[in-house]
Amino acid sequence: MLKSTQRRKTVLGVPVPRKVPSVDVKKVAKAVGKASKQVGETSKSVSKDIERVGNQAERLGKILG
């Protein structure tokens, strides 16, 4: 009996592995959640700083003008 040889599947000429390592969706979702929370906190902090600078510039303009 002859064994048939299996060819590796290719996509656009790149060989694709037979077994794809599993990805833990919960870990990925948790990491994305933490990153988005950090971005939100940073943007709030930056906007507060910009508002403070604007207020100080306004006061300085009133004093000088």
Task: Dig out the tokens for 58 from the structure.
Answer: 């306004």
Give the pLDDT of residue 49. Answer: 95
Give the pLDDT of residue 4. Answer: 62
Look at residues 17, 43, 1, 27 and name the one whose alpha carbon lies nearest to residue 9.
17
Chain segment 17-60, per-residue pLDDT in tens:
777 677 777 888 889 889 999 999 999 999 999 999 999 999 99
Residue indicated by tokens 């004093």: 63
Task: Provide the whole-model pTM.
Answer: 0.50
Confidence of residue 12 (pLDDT cuts 50, 70, 90): confident
Tell me the C-alpha to C-alpha distance, in Å, between residue 8 and each of 2, 5, 16, 24, 30: 19, 10, 7, 26, 35
Name the 3-class secondary structure at 22.
coil
Whole-angstrom Cα distance, residue 7 to residue 20? 17
